[in-house]
């Protein structure tokens, strides 16, 4: 049965380029180099004949071997040498399968548009392989066979790169389109809230024993009591703080809220300007914080963010154009995937097995 189409995103395209480079290098490696198989027979049917049909994309047949090689590289790229989590492999197989299908569609579209592989670049790449593996007996014995597999792959990669550039070259927005984009995406152009803090940090190495942390917390409690009693914050910061702001009496510059450590952010959210927080344990030690100022989030004016708005418009317009093209190709081309080569999807609510 046909699988639901999954768009080949920019990230997926980058993964494909990485995958193809890896496969090409594997084909040209010294004796004994082989492409790794999928994680386990339970995750993918590795015992199926490689020339069996995995998918039919229009008039093009994708073999099980092609799919398994793509899956092996994708697994290595995402999970390195670890085994994919149980239940996740089935979804991952389907994602890779759809990317294989999309790749076939995109190469065909590139040819339909009259794009040609960059012969000079391909020759330079092959020359690099020649130089890298010239001392390999395996290369010397199997050079023609290896190149017969690698060169078509490089040609397809060249076509895909050219198609990507062609489709995603959307130019610059006109004034009306840019203004409309700004008006429709105003949250993207909001300057976040900023806060100004003063801090007294009693430094403790994260690996210190509990007794040292307890000592710092007790010292912070004593300092906090003195501050509540009217002691000068700046003076105590200069005497006791291990933060680099100590020479300035603990005063820090205005900082965007999102730039603060999570623990500090939670403390600051509940403070009024001028208020002193209870001592808080941070990664670097125990801190006493005072909120000295707060600048609310502000909507930035269109003229101030025109350049950034144009960058985001080009990105979004290119993504939308790419996705429209893929959707059109999927609608126009019959696609049949033999899903027996996928592991079964686990039903909602099913628990992983104990094995």
Burial of 85 per CB tally in 10 Å (0-12, 13-18, 19+)? exposed
Same domain, 144 and 57: yes
Residues 12 and 84: their CA atoms lie apart, in Å, by 18
Mean pLDDT, the chain, whole residue set: 86
Residues 69 and 338: their CA atoms lie apart, in Å, by 16
Same domain, 167 and 269: no
Residues 169 and 234: their CA atoms lie apart, in Å, by 56
Q: Which residue has the tokens 């020339």?
A: 51
304 assigned to some structural domain: no
What is the gyration radius of the CA atoms in the chain, in angstroms?
29
352 assigned to some structural domain: no
Joined tokens for residue 337: 């995937």
| Residue 276 φ then ψ, to 5° | -105, 130
Same domain, 167 and 21: yes
Residues 256 and 190: their CA atoms lie apart, in Å, by 12
Among 97-111, 127-141, 160-174, 218-232, which stretch is predicted with the lowest mean pLDDT? 127-141
Same domain, 112 and 49: yes
Same domain, 69 and 120: yes
Average pLDDT over residues 219-223: 96
Mark 24-56 as b/e (b = at least 16 C-beta within 10 Å). bebbbbeeeeeeeebbeeebbbbebeeeeebbb
For residue 117, give the CATH number of its domain: 1.10.4030
| Residue 114 φ then ψ, to 5° | 80, 15
Same domain, 287 and 325: no
68 assigned to some structural domain: yes
Q: Is the pLDDT of residue 63 over 60?
A: yes
Q: Are 301 and 182 in contact (CB under 8 A)?
A: no
Q: Is the pLDDT of residue 331 over 60?
A: yes
Same domain, 28 and 139: yes
5 assigned to some structural domain: no
Same domain, 39 and 118: yes
pLDDT single digits (tens) 8-50: 444 445 444 444 444 444 444 433 333 333 334 334 444 457 7
Percent of the chain with pLDDT over 90: 68
280 assigned to some structural domain: yes
* pLDDT band at residue 306 using 50, 70 and 90 as cut-offs: very high
Same domain, 109 and 221: no
Among 103-112, 181-190, 264-273, which stretch is predicted with the lowest mean pLDDT? 264-273
- Position 350 scores a pLDDT of 59
Question: Which residue range forms the structural domain that includes residue 255?
Answer: 193-296
Q: Is the pLDDT of residue 278 over 90?
A: yes
Q: Is the pLDDT of residue 352 over 70?
A: no
Model confidence pTM above 0.75: no
For residue 203, give the CATH number of its domain: 3.10.50.40
Same domain, 141 and 44: yes
307 assigned to some structural domain: no
Residues 236 and 329: their CA atoms lie apart, in Å, by 69
Residues 66 and 41: their CA atoms lie apart, in Å, by 17
Q: Are 273 and 291 in contact (CB under 8 A)?
A: yes
177 assigned to some structural domain: no
Same domain, 161 and 28: yes
* pLDDT band at residue 82 using 50, 70 and 90 as cut-offs: confident
pLDDT single digits (tens) 232-263: 999 999 999 999 999 999 999 999 877 888 88
Domain count, the chain: 2
Residues 108 and 266: their CA atoms lie apart, in Å, by 53
- Position 35 scores a pLDDT of 36
- Position 46 scores a pLDDT of 45
Same domain, 64 and 27: yes
- Position 270 scores a pLDDT of 81
Residues with Cβ within 8 Å of 241's Cβ and at least 6 positions away in sequence, in order, are 199, 200, 201, 202, 250
130 assigned to some structural domain: yes
Percent of the chain with pLDDT over 70: 84
């Amino acid at each position: 049965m046909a699988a639901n189409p999954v768009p080949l995103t920019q990230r997926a395209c980058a993964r494909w380029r990485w995958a193809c480079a890896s496969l090409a290098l594997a084909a040209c490696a010294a004796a004994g180099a082989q492409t790794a198989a999928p994680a386990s027979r339970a995750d993918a049917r590795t015992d199926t004949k490689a020339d069996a049909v995995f998918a039919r994309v229009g008039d093009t047949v994708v073999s099980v071997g092609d799919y398994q090689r793509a899956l092996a590289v994708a697994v290595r790229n995402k999970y390195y040498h670890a085994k994919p989590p149980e239940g996740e492999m089935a979804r991952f197989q389907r994602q890779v399968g759809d990317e294989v299908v999309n790749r076939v569609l995109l190469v065909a579209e590139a040819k339909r548009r009259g794009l040609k592989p960059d012969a000079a670049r391909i020759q330079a790449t092959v020359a690099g392989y020649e130089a890298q593996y010239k001392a390999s007996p395996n290369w010397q014995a199997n050079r023609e066979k290896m190149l017969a597999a690698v060169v078509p792959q490089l040609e397809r990669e060249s076509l895909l790169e050219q198609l990507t550039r062609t489709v995603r070259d959307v130019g610059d927005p006109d004034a009306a389109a840019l203004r409309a984009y700004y008006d429709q995406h105003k949250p993207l152009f909001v300057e976040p809230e900023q806060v100004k803090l003063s801090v007294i940090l009693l430094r403790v190495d994260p690996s210190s024993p509990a007794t040292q942390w307890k000592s710092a917390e007790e010292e912070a409690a004593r300092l906090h009591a003195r501050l509540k009693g009217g002691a000068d914050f700046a003076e105590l910061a200069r005497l006791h703080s291990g933060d680099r702001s100590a020479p300035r009496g603990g005063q820090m510059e205005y900082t965007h809220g999102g730039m603060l450590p999570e623990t500090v952010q939670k403390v600051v959210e509940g403070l009024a300007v001028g208020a002193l927080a209870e001592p808080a344990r941070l990664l670097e030690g125990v801190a006493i914080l005072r909120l000295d100022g707060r600048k609310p989030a502000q909507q930035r004016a269109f003229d101030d963010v025109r350049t950034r708005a144009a960058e985001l418009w080009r990105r979004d317009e290119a993504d939308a154009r790419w996705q429209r093209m893929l959707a059109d190709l999927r609608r126009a081309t019959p696609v049949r995937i033999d899903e027996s080569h996928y592991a079964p999807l686990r039903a909602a609510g099913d628990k992983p097995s104990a094995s």
